[in-house]
Every structure is written in C-alpha cells, then in structure tokens.
C-alpha cells in the first residue's frame, strides 16, 4: 500500500467516467488526461459534476463505469488511503484536536515514517508558518489554515494534489494573495495540482489548463487565453467573462473569411472561428473588443449602427456601456479609461465597431 502510494507517477487519465446517483447523472462519459506536473482546473457552476469528479479521483466516490489511472496504475477502485493522491478539502478539514505540527505529520506517521521532524518543518517553512507549529487549528486565521491544509497534503509528496474550492472561504484580497501563493508552491514542488472551482477568475489566474464542465460533461478544455479568446460553446462564452451573442445568418464563405448577416449588417469573421455548421448561428464578440463611437464615425471593419446608450457605469479601470440595438438587444461595451475615451452620454446614438479577428460564431443553444 505504501509502495503504491509512493511509486505511481505519470499523467492522470480518466476514461469514459460515468457517475450516477439514482436517476441523476452527475458525470457523463468524461474523458480527461491531466499531464504530470501541470496545474489543472476543473471549472463549472455548482452541480456540474466537478466535485464528484474530484471525489472519484480521491477515492471518496466510486464511478458507475469507466477507469481512473495514474500513469500505468489503475486506481479506479483503490481505497482512498491506497492512492498516490492527497486532497485539500473545502474548509480545510484540519484535525482540531492535533497541533499544526501533528496535523502536517499525520500522513507521514500513518505511512510508518518514524522521523517526520525534518519533512514537516521543511514544508511548514515553505508555507511560512513554521512559528505556529505548536498551535491548534482553531487558533489560526482562515488564510493560515488554508496554507496548513496545503502543507499537510504536499508533505506526502503525492503524484497528485486535489484542491476542492480551496479559496472559497477566504475574502477577496486574501484569495488573490493565496492564488499567487498556490501557483508558486505548485511550481516549487512540481506536483500535479487538480483544482476544482466555480470561480473563473481563480481558475484563469492559477491554472495552465482549464476544463470547463457543464451538466456532467466537459464543454471545452484549453489554456485560459485559448478558452477566453476562442470559446467553442455558448456556455463557455458566457461562463468565462462576458460575451455579446447576436443571432445571425451565415452568408458567403471565401475560404479564410466568412461573412454573416446580422440584422442587415455584414459582419466578417475568420472561417476558423466559426464553430457552427448550421446556417443560423450566434455571432460573439467580447465587450472589451468593441469600440464605441458617436453615430456614423466607425473605424473597424465590422460595425453595427444605430445603437442607443441606455446605461453607463464607471468602474475605475474601465467604463461599461450598455447599448440598446434597433432589434432591442442590449450589448455590453467596455472602454479602457486611458484618456482617449469618446465623450459619450446616456441616450446618445452610437456605432459599435471591432476587428473581424475578434469575432466568433457558435451553435445557438436551442
């Protein structure tokens, strides 16, 4: 048992994983390879199956069908304590009756390691909490408990570290700080981190690769930039950041470029960014990619005219405009407050324009 826990290394592979709870399918035919040493995020709304997936990897749930392997070692039905996997639990689950030192030493002691002092003190130094080793968890702040939970897991040098919404209980400022710290720890120890979260910003800040989950399936997987710039589904386009999605009809396809008709306006996009094979699509554009001008003074290739500004909110780094189009759809526009902003007021008629390269087209959900 100790041998397995210590020796299995390699990529984590989930093959055709399915998990049912009664009639409810929590995870549906999931296939996933998580490369060794990566920081991987499973991102999705609550109830999407991400925590269930994590619990199956940890061994706290058994899949209804499919296999889980680390490298060549099948761990699908192994007991949790026989897996090369450790978990940082939501709300940390530190043992309240043990000191910080004993909490961190817990896994090592269970594996029969006699001299734990050096390893424990080293990992406590890594999370910069060596001075608290004689305290009890109840005497620590949330951020400190969080770091101890990480230390308690990584001290065992697992092949895989699972983090279940690890920053959910922290306030915003601390969460930002911990995001950077976790990323640094991961680079330092080189263990594969699998991070489950519903917070897209958290996933994007930390992870190399993100898998966006919805209704028990993976919608799209890729780097944060890739997911943000090239969403393949409406769900991803809306879950990561904001998107303006407008109904359109596909027109001519000239090879590299495709043109679509949006309420009479001709909008161009790279053919490679059209994810739909249908003639009726949703054309997408991120709010910060759009330029807003007084009516008639468009500069970009793609332009929509005759919008009316219905709301303006100033948020410091940017100003957010809400623009009602003639077909009664509200579009969002973010302009950087870099001094070059047009002097636009509520009620003004405006033209929206953007570069064709930023445009994408998706299958409409219905």
**Residues lying near another protein in the complex (CB under 8 A):** 1-2, 5, 58-60, 79-81, 85-87, 89-91, 93-97, 106-107, 110-111, 138, 152-153, 156
The Cα 257–Cα 359 span in angstroms is 11
Taking the C-alpha atoms of residue 73 and residue 183, their distance in angstroms, rounded to an integer, is 27
Residue (149 or 282) nearer to another protein, CB = 149
The smaller minimum CB distance to another protein, of residues 152 and 305, is found at 152
Q: Which CB sits closer to another protein, 138 or 347? A: 138
Closest distance of CB 62 from another protein, Å:
14
Contact between 239 and 70 under an 8 Å Cβ cutoff? The reply is no
In this complex, which beta carbon is closest to another protein, that of residue 86 or of residue 353?
Answer: 86
Q: Which is nearer to another protein, 153 or 309 (CB)?
A: 153
Q: Rounded CA gap, 69 and 75, in Å?
A: 5
Q: At closest approach, how far in Å is the CB of 81 from another protein?
A: 5
Least distance in Å: CB of 111 to another protein?
5
Closest to 148 (Cα-Cα) out of 88, 194, 97: 88
Which pair of tokens denotes residue 60?
Answer: 């706290």
Closest CA to 107 of 273, 137, 116: 116
CB of 60 to another protein, least distance (A): 6
Min CB(103)–another protein separation in Å: 9
Q: Closest approach of Cβ 187 to another protein, in Å? A: 23
> Could you tell me the two tokens for 100?
């910080």
1 or 125: CB nearest another protein = 1
């Amino acid at each position: 048992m100790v041998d397995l826990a210590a020796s299995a290394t390699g990529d984590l592979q989930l093959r055709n994983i399915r998990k049912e709870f009664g009639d409810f399918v929590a995870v549906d035919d999931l296939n996933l390879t998580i490369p060794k040493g990566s920081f991987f995020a499973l991102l999705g709304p609550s109830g999407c199956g991400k925590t269930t997936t994590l619990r199956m990897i940890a061994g706290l749930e058994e899949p209804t069908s499919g296999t889980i392997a680390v490298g060549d070692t099948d761990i699908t039905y192994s007991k949790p304590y026989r897996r090369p996997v450790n978990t940082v639990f939501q709300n940390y689950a530190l043992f309240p009756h043990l000191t910080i030192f004993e909490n961190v030493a817990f896994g090592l002691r269970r594996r029969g390691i006699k001299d734990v002092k050096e390893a424990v003190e080293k990992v406590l130094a890594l999370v910069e909490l060596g001075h608290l080793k004689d305290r009890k968890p109840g005497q620590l702040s949330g951020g400190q408990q969080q770091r101890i939970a990480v230390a308690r897991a990584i001290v065992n040098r697992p092949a895989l570290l699972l983090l279940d919404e690890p920053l959910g209980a922290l306030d915003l400022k601390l969460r930002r700080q911990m995001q950077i710290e976790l990323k640094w720890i991961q680079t330092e120890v080189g263990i594969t981190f699998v991070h489950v979260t519903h917070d897209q910003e958290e996933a994007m800040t930390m992870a190399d690769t993100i898998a966006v989950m919805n209704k028990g399936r993976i919608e799209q997987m890729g780097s944060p930039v890739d997911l943000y710039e090239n969403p393949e589904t409406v769900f991803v386009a809306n879950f990561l950041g904001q998107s303006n999605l407008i109904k359109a009809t596909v027109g001519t396809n000239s090879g590299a470029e495709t043109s679509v008709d949006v309420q009479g306006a001709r909008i161009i996009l790279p053919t490679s960014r059209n994810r739909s094979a249908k003639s009726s699509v949703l054309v997408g554009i991120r709010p910060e990619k759009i330029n807003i001008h007084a009516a008639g003074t468009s500069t970009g290739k793609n332009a929509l005219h005759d919008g009316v500004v219905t709301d303006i909110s100033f948020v410091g780094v940017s100003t957010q405009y809400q623009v009602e189009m003639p077909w009664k759809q509200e579009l969002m526009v973010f302009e950087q407050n870099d001094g070059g902003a047009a002097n636009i007021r509520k009620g003004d008629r405006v033209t929206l324009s953007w570069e064709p390269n930023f445009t994408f087209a998706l299958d409409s959900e219905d």
